[in-house]
Structures are given as structure tokens and as C-alpha cells.
Amino acid sequence: MTAPAIKIEGLSKSYNGSDALSGVNITIPDGQFFGLLGPNGAGKSTTINILTGLVRRNSGNITVFGKDIERDYRFTRSQIGTAQQELSVDWFFPIEKLLQYQAGYYGISPKKSRGRIEELLNRLGLWSKRKSRLRQLSGGMKRRFQLAKALVHNPKIIILDEPTAGIDVELRHELWDYLRQLHQQGKTILLTTHYIEEAELLCEYVSIIHKGKVIAEGAPKNLINKRGKAGITIHLKQWEDTLQELLKPYTYTRKKSQLHFTVKDAETEISKIINLISKNGCQIQRVELTKSTLEDVFLSLTGRGINEQTK
Ligand code: ADP
């Protein structure tokens, strides 16, 4: 059997005495599309930054194709291409030059990288911009450039930190298509996301990370079947603050006047919830029963929605 693409065991990290990661274990087989899913502050970037050598761990083991990321860092870094959230590159060179330099870090000569760069720029719709500086590119183009930069040395593993955060729907779908293609070509992909939809759509396997610990893992479908509960969405005419106290016994999230409940048994709970709300004089406009999603899994595990800061 071949070694896993990435194996993380007992990974811990603290910043100024406060734990960012407490004993994280993750195994990603070669060729898997893997998602590290969790709310802001869960520890996703810290995990990735340790994996790519930007941050030092306090304890734990990490191997890439069986080799230690510190002892064999030359090998392990050559296997990985990373697209970080922040761009930390020179703004003054044409983007094709930046890609050439990036390839150079991996010992690939300009002559050898030329074809690959042309192919990537074409594939990512950046060929006509090859002579432009980064600051002349739109936000979406910068994202695509980041991906080109991660791929220029043709790594086996691609790590993407929140690849679609803050980009429009159209580009998000384009990127998803491209990531699916890379996966089909046999690449191992690790992406972090706090978009449940993204993890459900793309990933074969996810680890849900919360407060520095992996609290659940599995194929999205299995997680949903095992832990997911039914969802009830109630659209109110108007939210009333008095509802907060009344609904305390329930696990729910709220977006303006729309409430999403996660319950074990929708049929018995739905009438109770409706009664409770209407007794309070609130008007209900619409009620929907929804299939369980990873959001319901997260909610049932943590008691709060993935994008909620506090409750
Ligand atoms: P995520 O990527 O899931 O949003 P992070 O890995 O960025 O989470 O953060 C995990 C925790 O570590 C958070 O509490 C964050 O405030 C803290 N943290 C991250 N980076 C630093 C740093 N450089 N210095 C101090 N605390 C940090």
C-alpha cells in the first residue's frame, strides 16, 4: 500500500499560551479530495501553515507520502502547491515572470517552465493578461493567478485555503469545475472552507474542526446519514426579540426573519415550534422541511451554525 499523501498525528499548537490546535489527527490518502471544514478561528489555517512550513508546531507528527515535513522538507515541499488566502508576492513584475520565478524555486528552469506556464495561463483565462502586473488584475483574476502559482511545479498535492472566500458565484463555479478536473487527473486536494455547500459538493471526505479539535470526520453523505437531523425552516413576517427566550430549548440559527431549526424528529417538533411562535403573536409566512445537510451535522455537534460567531 502506498503511504498517505498527508498524515497528521497529534498535532498541537498554541499561540501565547492559548491553544489553536489540540491533538489534530488527519489522514488523506493519495488522490483524495479532502475538506477541512470549520468556522472562523477553528484552526484550519494554522493546520495548513504548519503543513507548508510557515508556522512551527508545538508537537505532533506530519508526513507527506511517508516523509517527515521537517526532516525531508525539500521532498515534501516539492510535492505540495499552496494557494493561500493572502497574496504575498512581488507586485511589480508581469504575472508570467512571477510564475517563472515560482517555478525557479523548485529548480525548474525558465526554458522548462515556459510550456507549463502558457498552459496554465490559458486554462485559467489569464493568457491575455500575462504581461500585466498583479495590481492591474481584478480580484477574480488574482485568485486564478494564485491557483496558477500553486500549480506551476505540477505538484501531486494541492492545498487551498478558503479558495472561494469572497468571490462571486460565477467564479466560484468556475473554480469548482477546475478543482474537479484536477482531482480527476489524480491530484490530492486539501481545501479549507467554512462554506458547507462547498465541502458537500466537492469533497469525498471531510474533517470537521472546531476549537482546534477534529469533532467528526467521514464522507459527507455518511456524516449526514449518521448525525444529520431534519431541518425545519420557518419564515417569519418579522423577528421578535421575545422569541429568543421561548426558543431557547431548540437548536437553531437565524438569518434576519428566517429561522432554521435542527431537530431529531421533524414531524413531532414542527407543530410544537409553530405553536410556540404563533402563541407569541408572531406571524409565520412559510414553513419548509429540509433535507439534512452538513450544516445540520455541524449544528447538532456544536449547538451553533458554522458561520455564527457566538450564540
Ligand atoms: P481558521 O483558519 O479556522 O479561521 P486559524 O487557524 O486562523 O483558524 O486560528 C485558530 C486560532 O489561533 C484562533 O483562535 C486564532 O485567533 C489563533 N491564531 C492564529 N494565528 C495566530 C497568530 N499568528 N498569533 C496568535 N494567535 C493566532
Same domain, 268 and 157: no
Is 202 among the domain residues?
Answer: yes
Q: Which of 193, 174, 157 is closest to 75 using CA atoms? A: 157
Same domain, 213 and 179: yes
Picking from 166, 198, 224, the residue at the C-terminal end of a domain is 224
* Residue minimizing CA distance to atom 26 of ligand 1: 15
**Tally of domains within the chain:** 2
Cα of 268 from ligand 1 centre, angstroms = 41
Same domain, 101 and 207: yes
| Domain span including residue 284 | 230-291
Q: Dihedral through CA 248, CA 249, CA 254, CA 258, nearest 10?
A: -110
Same domain, 203 and 242: no
Q: 19 CB less than 6 Å from ligand 1? A: no
Is 302 among the domain residues?
Answer: no
* Residue minimizing CA distance to atom 22 of ligand 1: 15
**Residue 149: per-residue pLDDT:** 94
**Residue 228: per-residue pLDDT:** 65
Surface-to-core class of residue 67, CB atoms within 10 Å of its CB (0-12 exposed, 13-18 middle, 19+ buried): middle
**Residue 28: per-residue pLDDT:** 98
pTM over 0.85: no
Residue 252 maps to which CATH number?
Answer: 3.30.70.100
Same domain, 68 and 146: yes
Picking from 224, 239, 255, the residue at the C-terminal end of a domain is 224
Cα of 58 from ligand 1 centre, angstroms = 14
Which of the listed residues 26, 46, 161 should we mutate to test ligand 1's pocket, taking the one with most ligand atoms within 8 A of CB? 46
**Residue 311: per-residue pLDDT:** 37
Same domain, 164 and 264: no
Q: 163 CB less than 6 Å from ligand 1? A: no
Same domain, 219 and 259: no
What's the rounded Cα separation, in Å, for the pair 129 and 20? 40
Is 311 among the domain residues?
Answer: no
Is 90 among the domain residues?
Answer: yes
Cα of 289 from ligand 1 centre, angstroms = 36
What's the rounded Cα separation, in Å, for the pair 274 and 295? 22
Is 308 among the domain residues?
Answer: no
Q: 220 CB less than 6 Å from ligand 1? A: no
Cα of 43 from ligand 1 centre, angstroms = 6
Long-range contacts of 271-279 (CB under 8 A, 24+ apart): 273/232, 273/234, 273/247, 274/234, 276/246, 276/247, 277/234, 277/236, 277/243, 277/246, 277/247
Q: 38 CB less than 6 Å from ligand 1? A: yes
Q: How many CA atoms does the CB half-sphere of 164 hold within 13 Å?
A: 21
pLDDT, tens digit, 9 for 90 and up, residues 67-90:
999 999 999 999 999 988 766 666
* Residue minimizing CA distance to atom 27 of ligand 1: 15
- Closest ligand 1 atom to residue 13 Cα is 12
**Residue 280: per-residue pLDDT:** 81
**Residue 1: per-residue pLDDT:** 63
Is 301 among the domain residues?
Answer: no
| CA 305 vs CA 99, 211, 294: distances in Å | 39, 14, 10
Residue-by-residue pLDDT tens, the chain, 311 positions: 689 999 999 999 999 999 999 999 999 999 999 999 999 899 999 999 999 988 999 999 999 999 999 999 999 999 999 988 766 666 789 999 999 999 999 999 999 999 999 999 999 999 999 999 988 888 888 888 999 999 999 999 999 998 888 788 888 888 899 999 999 999 999 999 988 889 999 999 999 999 999 999 999 988 887 776 778 999 999 999 989 988 998 989 999 999 999 887 777 788 899 999 988 888 999 999 877 788 888 888 887 878 775 43
**Residue 104: per-residue pLDDT:** 95
**Residue 307: per-residue pLDDT:** 79
Same domain, 20 and 113: yes
Is 303 among the domain residues?
Answer: no
Residue 10 maps to which CATH number?
Answer: 3.40.50.300
